[in-house]
């Protein structure tokens, strides 16, 4: 018991929660009223920094100081962390700059891809020196980012988004996850159950963000997450272009088309871009369906963490784990992630109002983006191409993705047609 | 020593390649035809952030949370919204 109490101050899982509480408290109280990030640019990358150099340096030092204090309390080598962290932060800045280029943004190439690429380039050319690895705390960054992401999952919002959207998003998503899980583990016999569930969540929920949350929940290998992120992004770019064309070719109703895109395209930005190609109404329906799916990420991450602790990681010959054992083994930052969502949805939203919550999230989301960006730079620095290639042996991950996504496309089309096509009479809220 | 230099050369080459890819993408977006070109041009024209990771990254979060004036207020099933024109796939109005 005492060792469990010690973990409160000594483990990354808890520190992800403490860091998030501190950052969110700063934003809610108005102490922190803005977080900078490089802006968009067309031909001159220097314009991404217009008026932002000093704020970004301040952020690097402030966030670094906060993380260093936590690392010092965890009794880790904080002196070695600082120089490595500063380089990782610099690479994260470069990743945001690359992702902020107008055409890159329009293509849907997210900052996590650039962060991964930059990390991988360094690791596979000059090699990542030990002093740099000391600052590449990928798990700490990702866990803290996830708890902050929890605040962005507003459960109360789904009530007003409407039953039709809920049926399309929440009816299809669990079905696709289960289908892909059984297809991957029983039919394809994927060597890694973790990789199977990450691909299933990324395909059916919301791409990269779902992959991050699920990978953290089942404590997947970094190479597995890297592979899914790369694969999801390639297919997202293809689907962003192909799906609106298919909707037009079939001659779908605008609402059905929007719901279809929202339920199938993985990344949120690509959903909006694809929806916009079908018109304003389709864009809004697509965005709302995606938002409902985004909200599902919390439920999925929680269920995956619980399933892993109670089933997958359990010795089959051992008796059923007690509640206390489940508690000991459960990843605590997932609880922080769920708690942040519940507090923002059911305490903060009714107390301070929807507009203020929007203002708070406008700031906290940038913190979260920085932490995810730092995490992916760190993952890239810790990976090598050979290990990544090993994950793809036999092409099973790609087969799982393609089969699962095809099933998703058909099932979502059916659900969208039934609900938004007027076949089932389900009214708007 | 030679190995050390060649590692740094590989890094420089990889970064230069990355910069070239970015420049090529930018040039392609301005001139590309076909479905990809039209999709990218549409996103640039409408300033759509197609690379958003989560709904909160699409822009101002208040557009989602503001129940009175938000962009996504009161969207439900509306089967009378019309059909998509099949003849002009990917057409941008």
Instruction: Dump pLDDT digits (tens) for A147-165.
Output: 999 999 988 777 666 778 8
Give the separation between CA A273 and CA B57, rounded to whole angstroms. 13
Q: Is residue A356 part of a domain?
A: yes
Q: Is A41 helix (H, G, I), strand (E, B) or coil?
A: strand
Please give the residue range of the domain that contains residue A210: 2-420
Q: Which token pair is A363?
A: 């700031």
B-chain residues near A257 (CB < 8 A): 84
B-chain residues near A90 (CB < 8 A): none
Q: Is residue A427 part of a domain?
A: no
**Does position A373 have pLDDT exceeding 50, yes or no?**
yes
Q: Which token pair is A240?
A: 């962003």
Res. A89 pLDDT band, cuts 50 70 90: very high
Q: Is residue A266 part of a domain?
A: yes
pLDDT of A417 reads 92
Give the separation between CA A9 and CA A245, rounded to whole angstroms. 53
- Find residues 2-21 of chain B whose CB sits inside 8 Å of chain A: 7-8, 10-11, 14-15, 18
Q: Is residue A240 part of a domain?
A: yes
Give the separation between CA A74 and CA A58, rounded to whole angstroms. 24
Q: ipTM score here?
A: 0.85
**Does position A64 have pLDDT exceeding 80, yes or no?**
yes
Q: Which token pair is B15?
A: 């970064």
Distances from the Cα of B11 to the Cαs of A118, A226, A251, B21, in angstroms?
10, 21, 49, 15
A21 touches chain B (CB under 8 A): no
Q: Which of A105, A112, A121 sits opposite B49 (nearest CB)?
A: A105
A169 touches chain B (CB under 8 A): no
A-chain residues near B89 (CB < 8 A): 245, 248-249
Judged by phi (left if over 0) then psi (alpha if -120 to 50, else beta), residue A428 lies in beta
Q: Is residue A130 part of a domain?
A: yes
pLDDT of A427 reads 54
- Find residues 63-92 of chain B whose CB sits inside 8 Å of chain A: 63-67, 70-72, 74-79, 81-86, 88-92
> How many CB pairs lie under 8 A apart between chains A and B?
243
Domain count, chain A: 1
Distance of CA A259 to the CA centre of its chain: 21
pTM of the model: 0.90
Question: Which range has the top average pLDDT, A3-7, A270-274, A292-296, A386-390?
Answer: A270-274
pLDDT of A188 reads 93
In the block, tokens 């329009």 appear at A106
Give the separation between CA B91 and CA B93, rounded to whole angstroms. 6
In angstroms, the separation between the Cα of residue B31 and the nearest Cα of chain A is 11
Q: Which residues of chain B have pLDDT under 50?
A: 75-80, 87-93
- Find residues 229-288 of chain A whose CB sits inside 8 Å of chain B: 240-242, 244-245, 247-255, 257, 267-270, 272-274, 276-279, 281-282, 284-285, 287-288
A376-409: b or e for each residue (b if 16 or more CB lie within 10 Å)?
bbbbbbbbeeeebeebeeeebbeebbebbbebbb
pLDDT of B83 reads 63
In DSSP terms, A253 is beta-bridged to B83
Q: Is residue A213 part of a domain?
A: yes
Give the separation between CA A195 and CA A190, rounded to whole angstroms. 8
Mean pLDDT, residues A320-337: 87
Question: Which of the two residues, A429 and A355, has the higher pLDDT score?
Answer: A355
Judge: B50–A152 Cβ closer than 8 Å, yes or no: no
pLDDT of A272 reads 92
Q: Is residue A347 part of a domain?
A: yes
pLDDT of B79 reads 44
Judge: B28–A207 Cβ closer than 8 Å, yes or no: no
Q: Is residue A426 part of a domain?
A: no
- Find residues 400-419 of chain A whose CB sits inside 8 Å of chain B: 419
pLDDT of A168 reads 84
Give the separation between CA A364 and CA A373, rounded to whole angstroms. 14
């Amino acid at each position: 018991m005492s060792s469990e109490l010690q973990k409160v101050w000594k483990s990354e899982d808890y520190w992800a929660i403490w860091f998030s509480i501190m950052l969110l408290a700063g934003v809610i109280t108005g102490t922190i009223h803005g977080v900078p990030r490089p802006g968009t640019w067309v031909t001159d990358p220097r314009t991404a920094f217009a008026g932002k150099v000093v704020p970004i340096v301040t952020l690097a030092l402030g966030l670094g100081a906060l993380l260093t204090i936590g690392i010092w309390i965890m009794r880790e080598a904080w002196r070695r962390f600082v120089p490595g962290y500063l380089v990782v932060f610099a690479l994260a800045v470069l990743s945001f700059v690359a992702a902020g280029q107008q055409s890159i943004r329009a293509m849907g190439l997210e900052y996590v891809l650039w962060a991964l690429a930059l990390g991988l380039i360094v690791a596979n050319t000059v090699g990542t020196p030990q002093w740099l690895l000391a600052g590449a705390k990928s798990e700490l960054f990702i866990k803290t980012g996830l708890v902050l992401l929890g605040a962005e999952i507003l459960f109360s919002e789904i009530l007003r988004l409407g039953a039709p959207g809920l049926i399309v998003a929440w009816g299809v998503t669990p079905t696709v996850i289960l289908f892909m899980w059984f297809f991957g583990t029983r039919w394809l016999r994927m060597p890694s159950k973790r990789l199977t569930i990450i691909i299933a969540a990324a395909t059916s929920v919301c791409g990269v963000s779902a992959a991050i949350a699920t990978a953290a929940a089942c404590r997947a290998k970094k190479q597995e997450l890297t592979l899914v992120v790369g694969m999801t992004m390639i297919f997202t770019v293809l689907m962003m272009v192909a799906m609106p064309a298919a909707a037009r070719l079939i001659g779908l109703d605008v609402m059905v088309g929007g719901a279809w895109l929202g339920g199938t395209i993985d990344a949120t930005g690509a959903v909006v871009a694809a929806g916009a190609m079908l018109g304003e109404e389709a864009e809004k329906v697509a965005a709302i369906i995606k938002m409902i799916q985004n909200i599902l990420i919390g439920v999925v991450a929680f269920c995956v963490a619980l399933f892993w602790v109670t089933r997958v990681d359990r010795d089959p010959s051992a008796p059923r784990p007690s509640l206390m054992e489940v508690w000991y083994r459960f990843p605590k930052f997932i609880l922080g992630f769920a708690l942040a969502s519940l507090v923002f949805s059911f305490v903060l939203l009714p107390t301070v109002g929807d507009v203020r919550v929007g203002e708070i999230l406008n700031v906290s989301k940038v913190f979260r983006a920085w932490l995810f960006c730092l995490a992916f730079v760190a993952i890239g620095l810790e990976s090598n191409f050979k290990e990544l290639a090993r994950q793809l042996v036999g092409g099973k991950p790609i087969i799982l993705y393609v089969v699962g996504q095809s099933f998703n496309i058909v099932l979502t089309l059916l659900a969208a047609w039934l609900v938004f096509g007027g076949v089932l009479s389900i009214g708007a809220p | 020593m030679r190995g050390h230099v060649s590692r740094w050369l590989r890094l420089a080459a990889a970064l230069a390649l990355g910069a070239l890819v970015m420049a090529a993408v930018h040039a392609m977006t301005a001139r590309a035809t076909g479905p990809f070109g039209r999709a990218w041009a549409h996103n640039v024209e409408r300033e759509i952030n197609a690379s958003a990771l989560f709904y909160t990254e699409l822009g101002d979060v208040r557009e989602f949370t503001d129940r009175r004036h938000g962009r996504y207020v009161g969207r439900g099933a509306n089967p009378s919204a019309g059909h998509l024109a099949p003849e002009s796939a990917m057409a941008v109005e």
